[in-house]
Every structure is written in structure tokens, then in C-alpha cells.
Amino acid sequence: MKRLFAASFVGTSIEWYDYFIFGTAAALVFPRLFFPEASPDAATLASLSAFAVGFLVRPVGAAVIGHFGDRIGRKSMLVLTLILTGGSTFLIGVLPTFAAIGIGAPLLLVALRLVQGFGVAGEWGGAMLISTENAGPRRRALFGSFAQFGVPIGVLTSNLAFLAVSGMDDDAFFSYGWRIPFLLSAVLVVVGLVIRMMLTEPPEFAKVKQERKIIKVPFTELIRRHPRNLILGGLAAIAPPAVGYAVTVYMLTYGTKVVGFDRNTLLTLILASTSVWVGAIAVSALLSDRFGAKRLYIVGAVTAVIWPIPMFALVNTGDAGLALVAFLVAAVVQGIMAGAQGGLFTEMFDLKVRYSGISVAYALGATVAGAVTPAFPALYASAGSSTPVAVFLTALGLVSLVAVLGVQRASAPRETEEPALAVTPER
């Protein structure tokens, strides 16, 4: 159980650290260094668009990595995703800026973001399954939360990394300081690889592989047998990242340029909210195993519908204390859904296509949520108000709420099934 926790939590935390430092830099650094010839608003839009392109490739990455995860195994794909994400992040840290190589700089930035998005696309599914497939049906949400902790911890560590260097004067920060969080990812990836190389396949999947019951083209079988859950799962997965990116990415731009918060203040407030985020995931996971993952996810989706408008209203006051309340409640909103998501998604697809199913569904939701991030500044500019942005977030939450109501289990778990806690050694 400790090994599973380390592999899921530590590995996923590293992956999301890599992912979120790009989002932070997209708000604070890239407009100035990679899009300097554009106006401030256009540079911000271009930078957030570079952040968004990583989501466009995620359904493809999820399908490809999910295919091999269902055919070869969970472990090998977890190692691959860590290398892809960590390697691209390190290379961003040594990337020349527009001043050095001109238009080639933003093009290379976008290319590395695509590689990063491709790798992350298969990360969540593998980390989730390496945990949930080692648990019985009555503990799936709890074990699935191991991987979910990686998202807020990734936000926490990425913000800490930027907070540590953002105290530099502007010349030093924009010269080399911003690169340090990206370069540190090389050390973190080595740690993650050591942990993941110690893993073995879950007994459930190992048995299917040993009995030669692997499906040749899992994605085709997924489309044939689970089209309803694939579509509804993708729609249900929109709300958590939509709220998350609104806080961790867009708020860094909106809060500093529109409301007038200091950059370090906002980073600190977002950092403080992650502890509540982690706690909400843990509580939600425990309640999901007791009352049902679908019920808890519905509760979380309802809060995602309700909270965006009050959240922006609190931030717009310019008061740090009220902004902290806005971010803390947003963390609870995300945590409720995240804690239930592992148990819910694992039961939506059969074992033989499960890696493909949960990866593609999750990637579809994240793609929609991430790809609309550049729309936030445009929506604000259209009305000179945060109301359209808040209403848009509310609409995304409503889509997820309606979708999760229609999700069905692939098969009902046996109540007598015992948790398979042991991780059998490879032969």
C-alpha cells in the first residue's frame, strides 16, 4: 500500500508540477519573453493559447498511451509519461527567448507544450489504475485518491517554486530566475522514475495478461461497448479542471492586471488553498466508498455550478482575505469531485479497455476545460466585467452535472470481493 501511494502520489505530483509551472509561467513570464511584439492583451492571449494547445493533443495521447496501457501494462506507460512530461519541461527551461531566435522561440515553446500534453494525457489513467486495481470495490475511491493528491500538490510545489524566485528583481527574474523551476524538474523526474521502476502490475490486469485475454485494439472495443460512458465521462470531467485552471492560471493574470493584487500575494493565496484541496479529496474519497462515488461527484458538480459567480465577486473586492475565501471554497469544489472521480471512472469501463476508457474520458474533459482558458480574457474584454467569465464557468459546471447523472457502471462490483492489497512480484 505504501508503494502504491508513493508511485501514484509522488509520480503524479511531479507530472502536475511540470504541467502547472507552464501555466504559471504562461501568466507571468511568457507574454513578455516569447510574445514581446504583441500588445499586452494580445501577448497574454497568445501565452494562454500556448498553454491551451497542450490540451488539444491530450485525447490523442490518451488514446495512444491507453492503447498500450491496456495491451502491454500500466507500469511501462507510467514510466513513459514521466519521461515525456519531465523531459519537455526541462527543455523549456533552456529554451531561447524571442529576443535570441525570434519566431522560433514561441514555435519551440508550443512544440514542447504539445509533448508535455501528450505525456500527461496517459499519466492520470495509469496512476489511477495502478491504485484502484489493487483495491476492492469498497476502497476504490480511497485508493484512487492517491493519484488525485498529485494535482493540488503539483499546484503547491509549482507555486512554491515560482514564489521562491519571484522575489528577485525583474531583471534577474526575467533573465534566468523563471528558468529555475523548469530545470528543477530534472531532479524530480529521477526521483519519480526510481519509485515507478519498483512497481509491478496490478493482480487484476496481470491475470488477464497471463491468460492471454488482452484485446488487440482496445480503443475499438471501447467505442463499441462503452460509447455512452465515454461521452458522458468526458463531459463530467470538464468541471474540476475548469475551476482549477480559472484559479491557478487565469486568476494570476486577472488578479494582478485587473484587480491590482501583487503577484506574490496571489501566489501565496493560491498556495494556501491547496491544503484544503488535499483535505477535501481525502474526505470525499472516504465518503465515496461509503455512500457511492456517483453521489459525491454529483454534490461536487452542484457546487461547481453555484460557486463561480460568488468567487469572482469576492476576488473583485481587492481584499486578500476575501480572495482567500474564494480560493478555499474553490479548492473544496474541486476536491469533492476529485475524491470521487477515481472510484466513479474505474467502474465505468471493463478491465480490458479500462486504461483507454478512463484516460480518453478524462482527457476529453480536460481538453475542453483547458482549451477554453484563452477565452477568459476575451470574455472579460467583451463586457469589461468578470460576469461573463463566471457565467461561462457556471455553464461548464452545469454540463458536468447533467452528464454525471447519466453515467452508469460497466458492471456491478461484488459486495463479497475482498481488497487485493498485495502487489505480487514480477517473474
| Tens digits of residue pLDDT in 319-368 | 999 999 999 999 999 999 999 998 898 889 988 898 999 999 998 998 88
What was the pLDDT predicted at 225?
87
pLDDT higher for 30 or 51?
A: 30
* Section 129-141 average pLDDT: 76
Residue 394, SS3? helix
Q: Is residue 74's pLDDT more than 80?
A: yes
What was the pLDDT predicted at 413?
43
CA-based nearest residue to 178, from 186, 170, 188: 170
Tell me which residue has cell 524566485.
165
Tell me which residue has cell 469533492.
336
CA-based nearest residue to 304, from 342, 334, 276, 341: 334
Are 229 and 408 in contact by the 8 Å Cβ rule? The answer is yes
What was the pLDDT predicted at 26?
84
The Cα-based distances of 70 to 75, 87, 177, 205, 353 in angstroms read 11, 24, 41, 9, 6
* Section 383-410 average pLDDT: 92
The Cα-based distances of 62 to 59, 65, 209, 341, 349 in angstroms read 5, 5, 21, 17, 15
Q: How far apart are CA 337 and CA 270, in angstroms?
A: 19
Mean pLDDT for all residues in the chain: 85
What was the pLDDT predicted at 425?
40
Domains defined for the chain, CATH in brackets: 2-406 (1.20.1250.20)
- Lowest mean pLDDT segment, chosen from 26-35, 76-85, 94-103, 154-163: 154-163
CA-based nearest residue to 78, from 119, 115, 112: 119
Q: How far apart are CA 306 and CA 332, in angstroms?
A: 12
What was the pLDDT predicted at 110?
92
Are 249 and 24 in contact by the 8 Å Cβ rule? The answer is yes
Please name the residue ranges forming H helices in 317-423.
320-346, 354-371, 375-383, 387-406
